C-alpha cells in the first residue's frame, strides 16, 4: 500500500528519520565495501594448508608453474599467496621488514636489503597475482601460539615484532607500492593472545598486548577497537593501490562479530577458525558461513577458509568428500584457494578443482550466495539464483549413512506443475522431473545441479533470491550474540580437553533470507511466509534495483517476537526519497501489504522502525518481498 496519505499523521516518525546521525536515515547509496577488486570471489593457491610455515621460493614457484601447466590458472586460479613463514625481522630503527632471503633467494638485493619485487614480477609475468600475509597485532600467530613453527622471526623483541601494529602505513606501502603485491591476508593473533600474564610476556620474549579479542566471549571483545584497526588497513590499501587492484583478506576467524562488519571494509573475511582435513571440521567451517548470504556479495565475500581438497578426508581416496567440499564452497561463493601441494596432484583431484561448471557456479556474476531451502542436521538443500535466472542446487548428505532426499519444485521457487531440468554439474548429464524427485545420496555425498524450470514469480525476483544485491546496512542487532547453529567438531589441536566447543561466532540475529534472524520460519499475525527477509526492528536494508518497476511485500512483526512492547512501522525509500510506508503494526496484527513504484530507482532502502529503541529488538518480516516488472 503506497500510504502517502498517512505521512502527515506520523510526523514524529518522519522527523526522526531525518535526524543527521540516525543510522536508519536513508543514504541513497550502497554502503557495503566496493574498494579492492572482488566483483567475484578470488581464486588461487595459498601455501598454508600445503606447507604450514615451511614455505620457500622453490615450493611457491613450483606451485605457480603447476597452476599454469595444469590449466587451473586459465580457469581462474590466479592468486599465489604466501602465508606465515616469510619474514625474518623488522629492521631497527627504521622499521623496514626484512624477508627470509635464505628461503626466498630472489629477495636478496645487491645492496644488502631484501625485496619481493623480483618474485612478484615473475608471478605477474606468468599472468598470476601475488599475495602476502601479516598480522594486525605486533606478533604473528606462530609467535603467539606455535613457537615450534618453522621460520620464526629472529632478533630482539622489537625486531621480532613483524605484525602491522604501529606500522600499517609503512608496511602496506612497502608490500603494495614497492613490492607489488595484489592481496594481503591480515591475521589477528597479535591482538588476542598476549596478556601480561602470558609466559612469553613474563619471560620477556614478547611484549604484552592487552587482548581486545576473546574468541570465547563477545563480552570480553572490544569490537570497536578491532574494527578500527582493520579499518586503518583498509584505508592504507586504498592509498597505496590507486588502481584499486587488490584484495583485503580479513582473518579474524569469526571473532569480534566480524561477520556483521567485514562486508563494509574487506573483500573476503574468515567466518570461523581454521579448517582441518576432516569431514567434521569442514562442516563446522561451512556452517559458519551458510546462514550469512545477506552479508556477502560482489565486493565482499564470506570466507569459510581455504580448500583442503587433496588432503586427509578429501584426498584421492575420498573423492566423494573432496567433491562435496568443493561443491559446498562453490554454493557459498567462497574464495577458492587451493591449499594443497600441487606437485602431488592426481588427475582425479585436478578434475575436482578444475571442473568448469562448479567454478562457474562459484564465479556466477550475480554474486548470490546460496540460501538454505531445506535445513536439518542430516541433509541440507541449498539453492542459489544465477545471473541467467536459472538455479544452482546442492543437496548434501552430512551423515555417514546413505539417505534419500526429496527435492521439490518449492525448494527451487519453481512451479510444481511444469517440468524441471536438472543438469548434473559434475558430469554435465541432464535429467528432468515434475513436482518432486527423490534423490539417493551416498554417505557424505553432495549432489549438485543447475536447475531450469518455470519460475513461481514469473515477472521478477523474490528478495531472498538476490542476497548478493542486498546489504543489511543496519541489521538491528544491538547486543551481538554467538550463533548456536554451527556443527561443533573436536578441535584437532585441543582434543576433548576442557569443556568443549561453545557457540563462539557473532552473527546470531542478523538478517536472513527465507527465515527469521533466529533461524525460524517467517510468520506474522498467524500467517506463514515461505519466502521473505527476516530482520530485526531498527534495521535498514539496501537493495540494488536491477531495472524492476515495483517493490512489493507483506510486512509485520514476526510471531516469534518476545519484547512486543513497540509497534513497528515499515518504510520504502527509492534513491533516498520516501516512496511508501505502512501503518504501525503490533504483535499479532495481520501482515500489511506495502508496495512502491521503483521504476528508474537504483537503490531501494527498506527501513523497519520502532518509536523507542529497545535493548533486544523484535524480529520483523518483509514477507514475500519481491521486485517485479508489474505496472
- Run of H or E including 17: helix 11-17
φ, ψ (nearest 5 deg) of residue 4: -60, -30
Nearer to ligand GLA among residue 133 and residue 462 (C-beta): 133
Q: How far is CA 194 from the centre of its chain?
A: 28
d(CA 192, CA 221) in angstroms, rounded, equals: 9
- Catalytic one among 274, 287, 475, 618? 274
By CB under 6 A, the residues from 144 to 163 that bind ligand GLA are: none
Nearer to ligand GLA among residue 213 and residue 294 (C-beta): 213
Strand 506-508 relative to strand 512-513, pairing? unpaired
d(CA 296, CA 293) in angstroms, rounded, equals: 6
Smallest distance, ligand GLA to C-beta of residue 152, A = 11
Smallest distance, ligand GLA to C-beta of residue 83, A = 5
Smallest distance, ligand GLA to C-beta of residue 85, A = 8
Helix or strand or coil: residue 173? helix
Nearer to ligand GLA among residue 17 and residue 143 (C-beta): 143
Closest CA to 285 of 268, 301, 307: 307
**Binding map of ligand GLA across residues 346-385, x = CB under 6 A, - = no contact:** ----------------------------------------
Q: Judged by CB under 6 A, does residue 141 bind ligand GLA? A: yes
Q: Judged by CB under 6 A, does residue 142 bind ligand GLA? A: yes
Among 56, 171, 257, 274, binds ligand GLA (CB under 6 A): 274
d(CA 213, CA 88) in angstroms, rounded, equals: 26
d(CA 350, CA 450) in angstroms, rounded, equals: 22
- Contact between residue 30 and residue 544 where contact means Cβ atoms under 8 Å apart: yes
Nearer to ligand GLA among residue 53 and residue 469 (C-beta): 53
Nearer to ligand GLA among residue 272 and residue 369 (C-beta): 272
**Binding map of ligand GLA across residues 415-434, x = CB under 6 A, - = no contact:** --------------------
Q: Judged by CB under 6 A, does residue 289 bind ligand GLA? A: no
Smallest distance, ligand GLA to C-beta of residue 149, A = 7
**Binding map of ligand GLA across residues 178-197, x = CB under 6 A, - = no contact:** ---------x----------
Nearer to ligand GLA among residue 83 and residue 624 (C-beta): 83
Query: DSSP letters along 315-337, please?
Result: STT-HHHHHHHHHHHHHTT--EE
Smallest distance, ligand GLA to C-beta of residue 368, A = 26
Nearer to ligand GLA among residue 84 and residue 558 (C-beta): 84
Closest CA to 479 of 616, 321, 587: 616
Nearer to ligand GLA among residue 255 and residue 524 (C-beta): 255
Smallest distance, ligand GLA to C-beta of residue 297, A = 23
Cell numbers that stand for 115 in this block:
625485496
What single-letter DSSP state applies at residue 617? P
**Binding map of ligand GLA across residues 253-272, x = CB under 6 A, - = no contact:** x-------------------
**Binding map of ligand GLA across residues 234-253, x = CB under 6 A, - = no contact:** -----------------x-x
- Catalytic one among 81, 171, 182, 187? 187
Q: Judged by CB under 6 A, does residue 338 bind ligand GLA? A: no
Q: Count the site residues for ligand GLA by CB under 6 A.
A: 9
φ, ψ (nearest 5 deg) of residue 311: -125, 145
Active site residue 187: yes
- Contact between residue 329 and residue 353 where contact means Cβ atoms under 8 Å apart: no
Q: How many CA atoms lie within 13 A of 105 on its CB side?
A: 3
Nearer to ligand GLA among residue 37 and residue 192 (C-beta): 192
d(CA 167, CA 178) in angstroms, rounded, equals: 15
Residue indicated by cell numbers 506520523:
10
Smallest distance, ligand GLA to C-beta of residue 510, A = 22
What single-letter DSSP state applies at residue 178? I
By CB under 6 A, the residues from 76 to 105 that bind ligand GLA are: 83-84
Smallest distance, ligand GLA to C-beta of residue 142, A = 5
- Run of H or E including 572: strand 569-574
Q: Judged by CB under 6 A, does residue 48 bind ligand GLA? A: yes
Strand partners, 593: 554
Smallest distance, ligand GLA to C-beta of residue 118, A = 24
Q: Judged by CB under 6 A, does residue 505 bind ligand GLA? A: no
Nearer to ligand GLA among residue 187 and residue 475 (C-beta): 187
d(CA 489, CA 284) in angstroms, rounded, equals: 7
Asked if omega into 93 is within 30° of 0 (cis), the reply is: yes
Helix residue spans in 251-345 (DSSP H): 258-261, 279-290, 319-331
Q: Judged by CB under 6 A, does residue 558 bind ligand GLA? A: no
d(CA 373, CA 451) in angstroms, rounded, equals: 14
Q: Which residues lie below 8 Å from residue 465, measured CB to CB, with a gap of 6+?
A: 368, 371, 385, 413
d(CA 620, CA 404) in angstroms, rounded, equals: 35
Strand 79-81 relative to strand 43-46, pairing? parallel
- Contact between residue 517 and residue 291 where contact means Cβ atoms under 8 Å apart: no
- Contact between residue 444 and residue 272 where contact means Cβ atoms under 8 Å apart: no
Smallest distance, ligand GLA to C-beta of residue 17, A = 41
Nearer to ligand GLA among residue 48 and residue 571 (C-beta): 48
Strands (E), 401-457: 403-408, 420-424, 430-433, 436-441, 446-452
Active site residue 222: no
Smallest distance, ligand GLA to C-beta of residue 185, A = 7
Nearer to ligand GLA among residue 312 and residue 416 (C-beta): 312
Residue numbers annotated as active site? 187, 274
Binding residues for ligand GLA (CB under 6 A): 48, 83-84, 141-142, 187, 251, 253, 274
Amino acid at each position: 500500500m503506497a500510504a502517502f496519505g498517512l505521512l502527515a499523521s506520523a510526523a514524529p516518525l518522519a522527523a526522526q528519520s531525518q535526524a543527521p546521525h540516525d543510522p536508519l536515515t536513508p543514504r541513497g547509496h550502497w554502503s557495503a565495501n566496493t574498494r579492492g577488486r572482488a566483483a567475484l570471489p578470488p581464486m588461487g593457491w595459498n601455501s598454508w594448508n600445503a606447507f604450514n610455515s615451511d614455505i620457500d621460493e622453490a615450493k611457491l614457484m613450483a606451485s605457480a608453474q603447476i597452476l599454469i601447466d595444469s590449466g587451473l590458472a586459465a580457469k581462474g586460479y590466479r592468486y599465489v599467496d604466501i602465508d606465515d613463514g616469510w619474514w625474518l625481522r623488522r629492521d631497527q630503527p627504521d622499521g623496514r621488514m626484512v624477508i627470509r632471503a635464505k628461503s626466498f633467494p630472489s629477495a636478496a638485493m645487491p645492496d644488502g636489503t631484501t625485496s619481493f619485487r623480483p618474485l612478484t614480477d615473475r608471478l605477474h609475468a606468468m599472468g598470476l597475482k601475488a599475495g602476502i600475509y601479516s598480522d594486525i597485532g605486533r606478533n604473528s600467530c606462530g609467535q603467539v601460539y606455535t613457537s615450534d613453527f618453522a621460520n620464526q622471526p629472529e632478533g630482539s623483541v622489537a625486531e621480532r615484532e613483524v605484525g602491522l601494529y604501529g606500522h600499517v602505513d609503512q608496511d602496506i606501502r612497502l608490500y603494495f607500492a614497492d613490492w607489488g603485491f595484489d592481496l594481503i591476508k591480515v591475521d589477528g593473533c597479535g591482538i588476542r593472545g598476549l596478556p601480561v600474564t602470558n609466559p612469553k610476556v613474563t619471560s620477556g620474549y614478547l611484549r604484552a598486548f592487552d587482548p581486545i579479542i576473546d574468541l570465547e566471549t563477545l563480552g570480553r571483545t572490544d569490537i570497536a577497537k578491532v574494527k578500527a584497526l582493520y579499518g586503518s588497513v583498509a584505508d592504507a590499501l586504498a592509498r597505496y593501490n590507486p588502481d584499486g587492484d587488490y584484495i583485503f583478506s580479513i582473518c579474524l576467524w569469526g571473532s569480534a562479530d566480524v561477520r556483521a562488519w567485514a562486508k563494509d571494509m574487506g573483500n573476503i573475511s574468515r567466518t570461523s577458525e581454521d579448517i582441518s582435513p576432516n569431514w567434521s571440521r569442514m562442516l563446522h567451517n561451512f556452517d559458519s558461513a551458510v546462514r550469512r548470504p545477506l552479508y556477502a556479495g560482489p565486493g565482499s565475500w564470506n570466507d569459510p577458509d581455504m580448500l583442503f581438497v587433496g588432503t586427509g578426508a578429501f584426498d584421492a581416496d575420498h573423492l566423494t568428500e573432496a567433491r562435496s567440499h568443493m561443491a559446498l564452497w562453490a554454493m557459498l561463493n567462497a574464495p577458492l584457494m587451493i591449499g594443497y601441494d600441487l606437485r602431488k596432484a592426481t588427475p582425479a583431484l585436478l578434475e575436482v578443482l578444475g571442473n568448469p561448471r562448479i567454478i562457474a557456479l562459484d564465479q556466477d556474476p550475480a554474486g548470490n550466495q546460496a540460501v538454505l531451502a531445506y535445513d536439518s542436521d542430516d541433509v541440507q538443500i541449498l539453492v542459489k539464483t544465477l545471473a541467467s535466472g536459472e538455479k544452482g542446487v546442492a543437496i548434501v548428505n552430512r551423515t555417514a549413512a546413505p539417505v534419500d532426499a526429496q527435492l521439490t519444485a518449492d525448494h527451487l521457487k519453481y512451479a510444481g506443475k511444469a517440468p524441471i531440468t536438472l543438469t548434473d554439474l559434475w558430469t554435465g548429464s541432464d535429467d528432468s522431473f515434475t513436482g518432486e524427485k527423490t534423490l539417493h545420496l551416498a554417505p557424505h555425498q553432495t549432489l549438485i545441479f543447475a536447475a531450469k524450470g518455470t519460475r513461481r514469480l514469473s515477472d521478477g525476483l523474490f528478495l531472498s533470491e538476490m542476497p548478493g544485491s542486498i546489504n543489511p546496512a543496519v541489521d538491528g542487532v544491538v547486543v551481538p550474540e554467538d550463533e548456536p547453529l554451527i556443527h561443533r567438531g573436536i578441535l584437532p589441536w585441543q582434543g576433548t580437553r576442557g569443556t568443549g566447543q561453545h557457540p563462539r561466532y557473532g552473527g546470531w540475529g542478523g538478517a536472513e533470507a527465507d527465515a527469521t534472524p533466529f533461524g525460524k520460519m517467517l510468520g506474522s499475525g498467524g500467517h506463514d511466509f515461505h519466502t521473505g527477509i527476516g530482520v530485526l526492528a531498527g534495521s535498514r536494508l539496501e537493495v540494488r534495483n536491477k531495472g524492476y518497476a515495483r517493490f512489493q511485500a507483506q510486512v509485520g512483526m514476526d510471531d516469534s517476537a518476545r519484547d512486543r512492547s513497540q509497534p513497528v512501522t515499515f518504510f520504502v525509500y527509492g534513491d533516498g526519497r520516501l516512496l511508501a510506508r505502512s501503518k504501525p503494526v503490533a504483535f499479532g496484527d495481520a501482515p500489511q501489504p506495502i508496495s512502491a513504484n521503483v521504476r528508474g530507482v537504483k537503490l531501494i532502502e527498506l527501513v523497519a522502525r520502532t518509536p523507542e529503541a529497545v535493548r533486544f529488538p523484535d524480529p520483523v518480516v518483509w514477507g514475500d518481498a519481491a521486485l517485479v516488472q508489474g505496472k
